Structure 1
Amino acid sequence: MRLHAVRPLKPQERRPREDELAWKIAEVAADGAPDDPAALEMAAMRIVDDWAVAAAALNRPSVISARGAALDTGLRPRGATVIGCGDALFDPYRAGYANATAIRELDFNDSFFAADSSHPGDVIGPLAAVAQGRGLDGMALLRGIVTAYEIQVDLVKGIALNRYRIDHVAHLGPAVAAGIGTMLSLPVPVIYQAVNLAAQLAVSTRQTRKNRISSYKANAPGHVGQIAMLAVDRAMRGESSPAPVYEGDYGILAILLGGPEAEVQVPLPEPGEPKRAILETYPKEHSAGYHGQALIDLAYKMRDRIGPEDDIRDIVIRTKELTHLVMGSGAGDPEKWDPHASRETLDHSAMFIFTVALQDGVWDHDNSYAPDRVARPDTVALWRKVRTEADDAWTRAFTDPAPLDKAHGGRVVVTYADGSTYEEELRVANAHPRGARPFGPAEYRAKFLDLAGPAVDGVECARFLGAVERMMAGGLDDLTQLSLQARPGILREASPGLF
C-alpha cells in the first residue's frame, strides 16, 4: 500500500490531474492486478449476506416503495433482477436502487471503521444491477465488488466525514463508480471522470442518521448507487466532471472537510498489488447498528447473573466516544429512549438494544422491534435506567489500533439500590474476525437460510446458493441466476409514484 497525501490547492495553484486522488482511484480500478482468492471468496459470501438481509426485508415499507419504483418501469429485454421478483428483468437504475434499499433496510449487512465508518456491502446491489444489465459473468462481478470494497475501505481509512457531519455514503459513490469501471474494463480517464462526478454528488449531511431517523436511511445507498451509475454513464459518453473534486479550492476538502489547510492521507494499493481490503471488513450477526453488536453479545452473557431488575438503580455502558455520540447518551436525542420511536431510531439506540437483549436473550430483526415488544412497561422502566459514557481507554482501543484490532464493545457497570455493582466487558462481537465465533462460509449460508426462509421456499434458496457456488468456481455466465423468487402472494404492492 502507498499513502497519498491529499490537500486543498491554493487559489490559482494547479497540478497535473495524474496527481489527483480521483485519478489515483481510477488507476487502482483499472489495474489488472492478480486476484486474491480469499478476497473473491469473501465477495461471494457478502452477496449471500446481502441477499439474506434483503429477503428478510421484502415487505418493509421502504423496500416496498423502492421495489414498486422498479416494477413500474416495466420489463426489459436486457436489465437487472429485483430481489423477490425472480428472473424478470427491469431498468438497472431502478433495480439497483430497489435491491440496495432491501439490503440496507434492516441494518444487517457488513461494517468497517477507521477514520470514518461505512457499510461496504452497500456497493453490491448497484454493481450487481450493472453486471446483469451489461450481460457480464460472475467473475467480472466479483472483481468489481473487490475493487469497490477496496476504494470504500481506503477512503474510510483516510478521510473522516462524521466529525464534519457529512454522511458516510459520500465514500460510497466513488467506490461504486470504481467498481463499475473494473467490471467494464474502462480506461483510467473515463473512470476518473466518473469518480469525480460520483464524489461530487454523493455528499449529504449526517442528518440522515440523527434525531427521529427516517426511512431514507435505507434508501440512501441505493440513491448513491444510482448517482454512481449515472456518473459512469456520463463519463462513457464523453462528458467531463468537476475537478479536482477533492483538492480544489472549492472542493470537498476545502469546503466541507476541514477547510483550506486540511490534509489527509489515503492508502491505496501499489500497481500490481492485489486488492484485499474486503478481508478487513466484518459481518453482523444481529440486526442493529454495528456499535450494538458486542453489546447484544454482552447482554446475553450478563442476563443470568444480573438479578432482579427492580433492584437495579442504573446501568452505565462505558464505551468508545463514537458509540456514545452516535448510538448513546452523547447524541443528545431523547428519541433513543422513546418507545414510540421509529425502527431506524431504535436500531441506533445502544440503550434500547442492550435492554431488550438483556431481557430476551435473543435478537430478532422483526420481533425485537415490534411496537408491543418495545413499549412493554418493564422494558421501558429498565431502558430508562441505561445510559452511555465515553471512556478514554475504550476510545483509544478503538481509535489507535489497525482496523481489525479495534475494540468495538465496552464495559457495562450495573449499580444496585444497595450500592453494590456487577461489571462485565466484551472487546468485539462474537462474529467479528477477532471474536469468539468468527463468521465463515457456513455461517453466511446459515444466516441466508434463516432470513430468507420465511419469504423464499427451500428449493429456491438452494438454487441461489448453488449459483453463488458456481460463481466462486468461475462458472456462472448468467448473472440473472443471482435472483430470488418470493413465495406466491408474499410481496406487497407499493403506492403509485410520480410516473
Structure 2
Amino acid sequence: MEGTEVPNGVRVLGTNYKLDPIKAAWDNGAIIRWLDFNDTWLAAEWGHPSDNLGGILAACDYMSQNFPEKEITVKEILYSMIKAHEIQGVLALENSFNRVGLDHVLLVKIASVAVISVILGLTKDQTIDALSQAFVDGQSLRTYRHAPNAGPRKSWAAGDATSRAMQLVWLTKKGQIGYPSAISAPTWGFKDVLFKGNELILNQEFDSYVMENVLFKISFPAEFHAQTAVEAAVKLHKKLDGKFDEIEKIKIITHESAIRIISKEGALNNPADRDHCLQYMTAIGLLKGDLIAEDYEDDIASNPLIDQLRDKMEVEENKTFSEDYLDPDKRSIANSLQIFFKDGTSTDVEEVHYPIGHKNRRSEGIPILINKFKKNLKIQFSDKRVSEVMKLFEDDEKLLSLPVKEFVDLFIPETN
C-alpha cells in the first residue's frame, strides 16, 4: 500500500521501501527474477535457483536489523544460497514436475522454506513441519509459461513462491502444526493428487553440486534453452550482410526440451510470449547481431522481418543433443543453425553446445559476468557507490564478515 513503512522492516533493493519480511521477499524475489537474466538449472525439471534469494535476503535482513547479537553476515546469505540451490537442483535432477503440468516454482517454495527456517531459528522438527506445509499447498500450473497463456506471471511467480515460503515458516514459528504424510498419504497426499502417483526421487546426497555447476545467464536475457541458438544466430548475422530477402529457409537443430518448451509458431501475444519463443529470439539474433530485453517489446516486434524469418524456420530434434542435455557429465544445451538461400547456396552449420554461462566456459564467462554486474549497478547508483560495491566483492574476507544490514545498505538509493 502507498506510504506503508514498517519500523525496522526489510528493505527492497533499489528503493526506499521498508516492508514486512513476507512482502519484501515477494518484491525482492520479483526484482531478482523479472528479466529472466540470472541463473538456470536444467535437468528433468527446470528452474532458476537464485529465485530463492528473495526470501533468503529478506530473512537475513530482518534478523540482522532486529537481532544484531545473532551476527547475521553475508556468509549466511551465501551459505543459504548454496543450500537452496542444492535442494532445488537435486530435486530437479530426476523429478519432472513439468510433465504433470506443475511449474518449477514449487521447488523454490520447498527450498526457500528449508533455508529460511534455519535463518529464523526453527528447530529441525519445526522445519519439517514447515516443509510439509509447502507440499500441502496447491501448486502453480505451468500454463502461464506456454501458448496460448504465456504471460508476465512467469516473471513474478518465483517472488510469489519465496514469499509464500516465508509466510509458511512464520506460521510454523507461531505454532502451526505439520502434516506427517503430506507427500505420501493415499488419495489425499501430494504424490497421489498432484504427481500422478510417482515417487519423489533423490539419487544423490546434498552437497554443493548445483552451485558449482549452475548456469549463469550472461550474454542474453533469453530462456536458457535458446541461449546457444541466439549465440549461433549472432555469429551468422555477420555473414548475412543484410541478405534477408534471399533466404529460402533456416534450419534449427535442437534438443527435445527446447522443442517442448519454447518452439512456437503463429502469433505471439506479448513480451512474455516472445521471450519464450525459440524462433523469435533466433530471428532477433540474425537481424541485429544481439538480443536485449527491449527486443521483446511491441515496437521491436512490429518489424515484419521478424515474422518473415520465423516463417522460414524449420525446427528439428537431434537425439544426441537431447541425450547430452540430460547427461550429468555434459549437461549441454546444444543448438545448431544453418541458413539456405534461394540461389541454392547455404551457410556453414553454426553449432554451439555450451552457452557462455556453462561451467565448461567459466574462464570465459566470469569476467563478462562481473562486467554485467558493474554495468547494472551504474543504472541505479553513483560511480562512488559502484566503486565501493565492486571493491567489497573483491575482498572475500570483508564481504563474508559484513553484517547483512550494512550489506543491504549498499543497495538502497543514495540521499543527496
Same fold flag (TM > 0.5) = yes
Does residue 457 (structure 1) correspond to residue 382 (structure 2)? The answer is yes
Aligned-pair distance for 1:451? 2.2
Aligned-pair distance for 1:436? 7.9
Choose which of 237, 240, 255 in structure 1 pairs with 2:193.
Answer: 255
Match of 1:431 in 2: 357
CA distance in 2: counterparts of 1:74 and 1:461, whole angstroms: 29
Secondary structure in structure 1 of the residue aligned to 2:10? coil
Aligned length: 402
Aligned-pair distance for 1:469? 5.2
Q: Which amino acid in the other structure matches residue 172 of structure 2?
A: A
CA distance in 2: counterparts of 1:409 and 1:276, whole angstroms: 22
Aligned-pair distance for 1:369? 2.5
TM-score (norm 1): 0.75
Does residue 192 (structure 1) correspond to residue 128 (structure 2)? The answer is yes
Give deviations 1:386-445, integer Å, cap 9, x for gaps.
24222322211212x10x6122121223222234433221101123211386432x4333
Does residue 77 (structure 1) correspond to residue 7 (structure 2)? The answer is yes
Does residue 475 (structure 1) correspond to residue 404 (structure 2)? The answer is no
Choose which of 261, 266, 270 in structure 2 pairs with 1:334.
Answer: 266
Task: Tell me: higher relative CO, structure 1 or 2? Use CA pairs within 8 A at least 6 residues apart.
Answer: 1
Secondary structure in structure 1 of the residue aligned to 2:228? helix
Maintained 8 Å contact 1:327/1:348: yes
Maintained 8 Å contact 1:202/1:227: no
CA distance in 2: counterparts of 1:78 and 1:472, whole angstroms: 27
Aligned-pair distance for 1:185? 4.5
Choose which of 121, 134, 149 in structure 1 pairs with 2:50.
Answer: 121
CA distance in 2: counterparts of 1:74 and 1:253, whole angstroms: 41
Maintained 8 Å contact 1:171/1:202: no
Match of 1:228 in 2: 165
Match of 1:395 in 2: 322
Q: Which amino acid in the other structure matches residue 263 of structure 2?
A: G
Does residue 95 (structure 1) correspond to residue 24 (structure 2)? The answer is yes
Gapped runs of 5+ residues in structure 2?
A: 65-71
- The change in CA–CA distance for 1:209 and 1:488 in structure 2 (over 3 A counts) is farther
CA distance in 2: counterparts of 1:466 and 1:247, whole angstroms: 50
1:237-248 matches, within 5 Å, as: 237-248=174-185
Aligned-pair distance for 1:113? 0.9
Aligned-pair distance for 1:468? 4.7
Match of 1:167 in 2: 103
- The change in CA–CA distance for 1:220 and 1:202 in structure 2 (over 3 A counts) is farther
Maintained 8 Å contact 1:202/1:224: no
Match of 1:350 in 2: 278
Does residue 414 (structure 1) correspond to residue 339 (structure 2)? The answer is yes
Q: Which moved more, 1:107-116 or 1:451-460?
A: 451-460
RMSD value, Cα: 2.4
Does residue 383 (structure 1) correspond to residue 317 (structure 2)? The answer is no
Q: Which moved more, 1:205-214 or 1:378-387?
A: 378-387
Give deviations 1:337-371, integer Å, cap 9, x for gaps.
x3xx31111110110111111111122222x2242
Aligned-pair distance for 1:264? 4.0
CA distance in 2: counterparts of 1:408 and 1:172, whole angstroms: 22
Gapped runs of 5+ residues in structure 1?
A: 1-68, 490-499
- The change in CA–CA distance for 1:326 and 1:437 in structure 2 (over 3 A counts) is farther
Q: Which moved more, 1:468-477 or 1:122-131?
A: 468-477
Identity, % of aligned positions: 21
TM-score (norm 2): 0.89
Maintained 8 Å contact 1:319/1:389: yes
